[in-house]
Chain A
Amino acid sequence: MHSKPTNIATNDLVDFALFLADSSLIMGHRLSEWTGHGPMIEQDIAITNIALDLIGQARNFYQYASELINNQDDKKITEDDLAYLRDASEYKNLLITELPNADWAKTIGKVFFFSAWQFYFYQKLIYSSDKQLSAIAEKSLKEVTYHVKWASDWVIRLGDGTEESKKRMESAVEDLWPYTGEMFVAANFEESPKNSVSIDVSNIKNDWLEKVKLVFRDATLFLPNKTWMQSGGKNGVHTEHLGYILAEMQFLQRAYPGLEW
């Protein structure tokens, strides 16, 4: 299923909304994999809370995208169609969101890098000329502010912790670093509505970097000096992980279309 509105500007707006929706959904889905497996009950609840927050954000963006598509093409699709019936090549999420959870340190690393990006991104998105995106950003910012705080504390706890926790946190940072560049390189759909709807991602890169440096200092961690960055997520070019995620996430809807509780 591939719904593309006919108007160019709306096309980009839909892609932009889908990019934000997909990123939150896939990250939320990955974090939900910790349900019942968290290292301590308090952390099991904390990480699943974050997952729920993210899925809520995704729903808001999907609902908006479906509205835009329906208005443009006189269709009747819903948020569920967008989440459950699109293939991996149509997904626009950041690659970092689809990486495996591995251990707690890797998961914390993902949440920290991603939430910090969302934090500065949503702060700017509140000023978008698109009222709906602005409203979603404002609501989401409160949730994300806590996610960043929570994740930062864990980065510090692990980095400045035991020998083992430090080793694992360092390894997590090394593995995740090449996936952070994508956050600050605009896709086509981000550039054309750039006038007033989307935000200039290159603008927030420094804020993000400063935040990372600040937390890393307390965590006694070093910034990797690699400069090569992975990319492609925003254009539907994904790692092998996304296929498996969607297979699990979409199975029920695809096997029993229209199924309801």
Chain B
Amino acid sequence: MNNEPLWEVFIRSKQGLDHKHVGSLHAADAKMAIENARDVYTRRMEGVSIWVVESKYIHATNPDESQSFFDPANDKVYRHPTFYNLPDELKYM
């Protein structure tokens, strides 16, 4: 049980469009991971679709680099779609 890999679990809710990260668990293989995820993370009808990914396959940004990675996007206002004049008839754009 100690050498079972760790898996990250993502669940999509009935009304949702994307799978959200809900937690992690241990399992010996993908099939077991799916069943464990179903048993642990869908007890209260949290979702209708499950993705599991072995944690080692998830690569993430390094928090130490977040300044150079994300700050530059903040002040480039010409990239934001805020300069269009929408006609009043278009209610839901």
Cβ-defined contact, A42 with B28, below 8 A? no
Cβ-defined contact, A42 with B43, below 8 A? no
Contacts of B36 in A (CB 8 A): 42, 46
At the interface, yes or no: A45 with Cβ under 8 Å from chain B?
yes
Nearest-Cβ distance from residue B82 to partner chain A, whole angstroms: 47
Contacts of A41 in B (CB 8 A): 25, 40
At the interface, yes or no: A127 with Cβ under 8 Å from chain B?
no
Nearest-Cβ distance from residue B45 to partner chain A, whole angstroms: 13
Number of interface residues of B (CB under 8 A): 13
Complex CA–CA separation, A153 to B32 (angstroms): 8
Number of interface residues of A (CB under 8 A): 12
Cβ-defined contact, A46 with B43, below 8 A? no
Nearest-Cβ distance from residue B19 to partner chain A, whole angstroms: 19
Nearest-Cβ distance from residue B53 to partner chain A, whole angstroms: 16
Cβ-defined contact, B39 with A40, below 8 A? no
A153-B31 in contact given A39-B1, A40-B26, A42-B26 (Cβ < 8 Å): yes
Contacts of B43 in A (CB 8 A): 45, 49
Contacts of A46 in B (CB 8 A): 35-36, 39-40
Chain B residues in the interface with A (C-beta under 8 A): 1, 25-28, 31-32, 35-36, 38-40, 43
Give the 6 A-B residue pairs with the shortest CB-CB distance, closest first: A42-B36, A46-B39, A45-B39, A45-B40, A40-B1, A42-B25
Q: List 16 A-B contacts (CB under 8 A).
A: A40-B1, A41-B25, A41-B40, A42-B25, A42-B26, A42-B27, A42-B36, A46-B35, A46-B39, A49-B39, A149-B35, A150-B35, A150-B39, A153-B31, A153-B35, A157-B28
